[in-house]
Structure 1
Amino acid sequence: MRLIACGTGMPTVRPKQAASCWLLELGNGDKFIFDVGTGSSERIAAMQIPYNYLDKVFLSHLHTDHFGDLDALFVGGALAGRQKPLRVWGPSGDTPERGTKYALEHLRKALTWDLDGRAGITDPRV
């Protein structure tokens, strides 16, 4: 098992330090991202970890310093040829509007123009 700190920063942006993001790799080949905070996609790329390698994300909560770069992982993985859908788990929230399912539905809506503009390039399973 290997745990890689891709981001350990705070909500405020800092040069060379991304917000919360941890990559856990297991000996059987499974890999999991725990949080994907603002700036973490740049750190993942700097470590030469391909986006299509990542398909499971756990979110501790829905502040941008914990899921602000999910859009980059979502679209970037599809562009890089991710073979599996991106699966995301997170808190349900005290109301549906504060939960992960709601946030992901609206993130996908926000990315409609981007994904439609790449039709035939992105994988519809993302």
Structure 2
Amino acid sequence: MSSKKVIVTDIETGESFDSMEAASKAWNVSHMTLTRARKKAVSSLGTTVKGRRVQFKESNNGGRHRVGCPVQCVETETVFPTLTAASIEAGVHVTGISNAIKTGSRAGGYHWRKM
């Protein structure tokens, strides 16, 4: 697994931690126990750790487009608050604009960049 920050949530109680380290301390389980559970977890269903139903979610995606990151249409210079807002306005799927940002190609006939 990568070293990205992971949000750990007890599905039944809603108790959430912003890192596996914090969850392991609070629940008195080893970090390795959580790491193994994370590898086995089915994203939507989670897994069980010492009697807790636990779900893992990465809090960012390694420097690629982040949730809520503004994007700009290069040609019109219009800034959108999110990738989703840009995709709705341009009538293009989110992945099209995301790929255009990564590769410098066009989506919906326009070039795009992160702000």
Structure 2 length-normalised TM: 0.27
Q: Tell me which structure has the larger Cα radius of gyration.
A: 2
Structure 1 length-normalised TM: 0.26
